[in-house]
């Protein structure tokens, strides 16, 4: 069995599903990595803008 009690009509069907699941998992991991990279980049840019603010004493 693959992934619980899901029955497959043949070994070929099972293998095909395993390959599709592996592809989807890699794609999801890449997408998560891109989201994390974008988040880190936007936070760094935000910190950069914050450090450029000048406070004026009154």
- Asked, for residue 21, whether it belongs to a domain, the answer is yes
In a domain, 5, yes or no: no
- Residue 26 inside a domain? The answer is yes
Higher pLDDT, 16 or 53: 16
**Is 19 part of any domain?**
yes
Q: What is the mean pLDDT of residues 50-54?
A: 60
Cα 1 from Cα 3, distance rounded (Å)? 7
Q: pTM of this prediction?
A: 0.55
Residues 19-50 pLDDT 10s: 999 999 999 999 999 888 888 887 777 766 66
Residue 57 lies inside a defined structural domain of this protein = no
**In this structure, what token pair is assigned to residue 27?**
């794609």
pLDDT for 8: 87
Q: Contact 8/20 with Cβ under 8 angstroms?
A: no
Residue for token digits 């992934």? Answer: 3
Q: What is the pLDDT of residue 35?
A: 87
Give the domain extent around 37: 10-52
């Amino acid at each position: 069995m693959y992934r619980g009690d899901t029955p497959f009509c043949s070994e070929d069907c099972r293998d095909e599903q395993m390959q599709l699941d592996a592809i989807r998992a890699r794609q999801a991991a890449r997408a998560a990595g891109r989201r994390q990279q974008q988040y880190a980049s936007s936070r760094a840019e935000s910190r950069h803008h914050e450090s450029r603010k000048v406070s004026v004493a009154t």
